[in-house]
Structure 1
Amino acid sequence: MPASNNKDKLERKIVKRFRKALSDYRLIEDGDKILVGLSGGKDSLCLLEMLGRRAMINKPEFSVEAIHIKIENINYESDTAYLKNFAERFGVPLHIVTTRFDKKDDCRKPTCFLCSWYRRKTILRFAQESGCNKIALGHHMDDIIHTALMNTFYQGRFSTMPASLKLNKMPLTIIRPLCLVAEADIRMYAEIQGYEKQLKRCPHERETNRTAIGKMFEELEKTNPEIRYSVWNALEAENKLIE
């Protein structure tokens, strides 16, 4: 089969799953102003592309902006010029916000926790200041399933990152429009589309419990290719995908 046919088939598959997620979990409504967390990785780039393309269709009518957060005291690097050009291709304004944290303020917390915490604080604050009512994150189906397994094995509770989460303390909803898309499909699509990778990866990246769960899940899928849908159906049955 020609490469162009493979590309078209994969793109149709991702778009179909993306639209199904929007419909099944009612992720987008008329009048929404959505802020995309753009890290520069393949998942967030795919999310921005899908939302940007969808926003060009009149119904539902919504707008999209993106934010890229730089932590100035963490030694990693993204090509912000590339990210701006990428966002512009899909009609999405990109805001680049720089912040930092001081490890001395809470030396007991791991660097990765503090980095994630400050990113979250920054994106929540920026969303409210810019009048956004929803924040879109690039978590895919594998992320959500792996989180469910981690919480079950390590915390003794069956829960995960939901497709839609309405926050209690602020007028914001977190949505995950790629929740029905497999990571393998996003990875292949990113290669076909020529998404650029980060210039320098975070020096604090390491093997974690999530890495171990991911490897275990890959082995389980080899014995039962339908296992992801069994876990997903269990999450839906327990109403864990909308909060």
Structure 2
Amino acid sequence: MNEVTMARADALDEVAVAASAGSGDKQGDKRAYENNKLHKRLCRLVGQAIGDFNMIEDGDKVMVCLSGGKDSYALLDILMTLRERAPIGFELVAVNLDQKQPNFPPEVLPAYLDKLGVPYHIENQDTYSIVKRLIPEGKTTCSLCSRLRRGILYRVADELGCNKIALGHHRDDILETFFLNMFFGAKIKGMPAKLVSDDGKHMVIRPLAYVKEADTERYAEVKGFPIIPCDLCGSQENLQRKQIKALMRDWEKKHPGRVENIFSALSTVVPSHLMDRDLFGFTGLTTDGIANPDGDIAFDEEPCSTPSTPSGTIPLQAV
């Protein structure tokens, strides 16, 4: 997925859009232009995430988990595009777990995937009945549902010979998980772009890690994906994740750029300025008399504030 390949593909996209112009339909031309920009942005961000975290390598067989939601549809679509452009060879297999939820239309995904021409597997497992039997009415079902789903998908990956499992979590999912762990779990922990599974046998990747949810929502509209709602958990309005999602959207509306900064902070961690004794050797810390710009600035009144002058923080030696 090198830059030359992506640039050449982008240039071809621009030519295609320019060729479609001149029809007299200015609004249609503008829509086509914006849609093309969205597609290019998604390809660029997914390609960047794959490269940054070395998610996909030559010869990989990637199981793309397809739920029927907007994000997993977008993931499969973009990965198929990148596969055609990439200088390496890798396989894609779409996998859906039919959990026998009420009103789930079993014919939708096979029809879509047949038309797409991508290899796929539908796994039928009645986890819905298990969840409804074990979880009391009114309680959230996500924890048990996800554990059951995870175990089944690991098994299917083995059976299909897939060495990578691609999930459709995007940037907003990652941030929501970070806040959920901090507010309700008392941990600074997020959702990584790449991680070995808890059974130690599978590599789980999230190629949409840099993609905003707003972009997958719009892309789903542009592509007309046959969205399948989740009747098991989608109606639970008291979910903590929904509360966090509402909080983030309010921040984005009132303070543009705040959410982006928080996401950037996840990849700019300073262990010496946190309090995890296992992560940083506080007990063995000694002074050496050497100036350190990353050292403590305990006497500053607002160490996190934006500098009011171009010179920034005044060194203690100058006071």
TM-score computed with the length of structure 2 as normaliser? 0.68
Identify the residue that residue 158 of structure 1 maps to in structure 2.
188
Separation in 2, partners of 1:104, 1:69 = 17
Tell me, yes or no, if structure 1 residue 220 matches structure 2 residue 227: no
- Bigger radius of gyration: 2
Separation in 1, partners of 2:72, 2:257 = 26
Separation in 1, partners of 2:202, 2:267 = 23
Residue by residue over 1:125-170, the C-alpha shift from the partner in whole angstroms, topping out at 9 and shown as x without a partner, is 0101211111000001000011111111111111111000113533
| Number of residue-to-residue matches in the alignment | 236
* Aligned positions of 1:1-243 closer than 5 A: 2-72=30-100, 74-78=101-105, 80-101=106-127, 102-103=130-131, 106=134, 111-167=141-197, 169-198=199-228, 201-204=230-233, 205-207=235-237, 208-238=239-269
Q: Classify 1:189/1:229 alpha carbon distance in 2 versus 1 (closer, same or farther; 3 Å).
A: same
| Partner secondary structure for residue 189 of structure 1 | helix
Contact 2:94 2:118 in 1 (8 A): yes
Measured after TM superposition, the shift of residue 105 of structure 1 is 7.5
Q: Structure 1: any 5+ residue segments left out of the alignment?
A: none
Q: Classify 1:46/1:159 alpha carbon distance in 2 versus 1 (closer, same or farther; 3 Å).
A: same
Measured after TM superposition, the shift of residue 107 of structure 1 is 5.2
Contact 2:95 2:122 in 1 (8 A): yes
Displaced runs of 4 or more, over 6 A: none
Contact 2:251 2:259 in 1 (8 A): no
| Partner secondary structure for residue 67 of structure 1 | strand
Alignment root-mean-square deviation, CA: 2.2
Q: Classify 1:36/1:86 alpha carbon distance in 2 versus 1 (closer, same or farther; 3 Å).
A: same
Residue by residue over 1:71-121, the C-alpha shift from the partner in whole angstroms, topping out at 9 and shown as x without a partner, is 12x32414x443234334554211111112435875578543332222111
- The residue type paired with residue 169 of structure 2 is H
- The residue type paired with residue 230 of structure 1 is N
Separation in 2, partners of 1:171, 1:233 = 30
Contact 2:131 2:145 in 1 (8 A): no
| Partner secondary structure for residue 236 of structure 1 | coil
- Range with bigger deviation, 219-228 or 8-17: 219-228
- The residue type paired with residue 122 of structure 2 is I
Contact 1:165 1:173 in 2 (8 A): yes
Contact 1:141 1:178 in 2 (8 A): yes
Contact 1:28 1:60 in 2 (8 A): no
Q: Classify 1:82/1:168 alpha carbon distance in 2 versus 1 (closer, same or farther; 3 Å).
A: closer
- Range with bigger deviation, 211-220 or 112-121: 112-121
Separation in 1, partners of 2:177, 2:124 = 28
Q: Percent identity?
A: 34
Measured after TM superposition, the shift of residue 41 of structure 1 is 0.4
- The residue type paired with residue 236 of structure 2 is R
Contact 2:45 2:211 in 1 (8 A): yes
Measured after TM superposition, the shift of residue 123 of structure 1 is 0.5
- Range with bigger deviation, 182-191 or 108-117: 108-117
